[in-house]
Amino acid sequence: MIERIVIVDGVDPACFYGVNNSNMQLIKNLFPKLRISARGSVIRVIGEDKETAEFEARIKELADYAERYNSLPEDVIIDIVKGAAPKELKKDNVIIYGINGKPIQGRTPNQQNLVETFANNDLTFALGPAGTGKTYIAIALAVRALKNREARKIILSRPAVEAGEKLGFLPGDMKDKIDPYLQPLYDALEDMIPAMKLKEYMETKVIQIAPLAFMRGRTLNDAIIVLDEAQNTTTHQIKMFLTRLGMNAKMIITGDVTQIDLPRATQSGLVQALRVLDGVPGIGKVEFGKKDIIRHHLVQRIVEAYEHFDAETAAAREAEKAEKEADATED
């Protein structure tokens, strides 16, 4: 009789062990000759050498499956323990599998285009109206790179600019003050990474979420960097951010130039950057449209209504301007 210790630290315990340890109980039933105990990421097994070696191999296969798909169904456990390959989940356009095995994929041609553009460029701009999935797909690509060990960390940032409101001083420490601005990034991560694993990544700074002001002076190597709401950066801020790109790193810049919340006299850094960097090799651009909106069906209609209103307002201004110029000429 020997004892083996198997470490399963790459997977979320709640996913691997199941509700009320149901998965672990099934595994014990499938290995009746072994004495098995588990605590956290450590599994101890006592038995004959051949059987414990077989157990270790199967546990590692189960852990790999759980880490990849964020789920571990009973039929998969049975198949793997019995030496049969589990059925491959449908892979069409899937970027990663989120919480409870939910597939996260490019659902529109432009979302899929963003996946391909990111693969072929070190800097990618994703532009378009609200609800098109720009930020969500960008973060999914960053999480996939982390899981595939293509990057050692994820850096997520956005400018702390209020959307037309003056909230004044916020209570609490620095984290409390900036978290409300960064909440959309947390929401996306919570969809893709189990809670305990996400907490671990945040504590060890494998995933870092920070306001744009904290980027100055850093060189971001071996990382996937995402800048959200880039239309609210100033020209100096976006230049500073773009020059943080280090070795073996990739960057995605998302923004909507129709939703600029900067003071009226301040030029958007995103608008300037798109003009300055047009045609530079290694930089890709994906433009989303109304057809890419995947929120509530009313969102697309709202965007269309505002575009129509803005076009009418602009036409009215031009007509008024032309009328004034004509009056001035007559005088």
| DSSP per residue, 71-120 | ---HHHHHHHHTTPPPPPPP-TTEEEE-GGG-EEE--SHHHHHHHHHHHH
Q: Compute the distance between CA of residue 213 and CA of residue 159 in angstroms, rounded to an integer.
A: 7
Of the ranges 38-47, 136-145, 164-173, 183-192, the best mean pLDDT one: 136-145
Tokens of 95: 């970027």
Q: What is the pLDDT of residues 232-263, one digit of tens each?
A: 999 999 999 999 999 999 999 999 988 888 88
- Give this prediction's pTM: 0.77
pLDDT at residue 277 is higher than 60 = yes
Query: Residue 241: what pLDDT?
Result: 92
Rounded to whole angstroms, the Cα distance separating 41 from 164 reads 47
pLDDT for residue 167: 45
Which residues lie below 8 Å from residue 99, measured CB to CB, with a gap of 6+? 70, 190, 191, 192, 193, 194
pLDDT of residue 174: 54
Name which of 128, 93, 99, 134 is nearest 112 in CA terms.
93
Task: With CA atoms as reference, report the closest residue to 188 among 119, 252, 123, 122.
Answer: 252
Q: What is the pLDDT of residue 296?
A: 65
Task: Give the tens place of pLDDT for each residue, 109-162.
Answer: 999 999 999 999 999 999 998 888 899 999 999 999 998 899 999 999 888 765
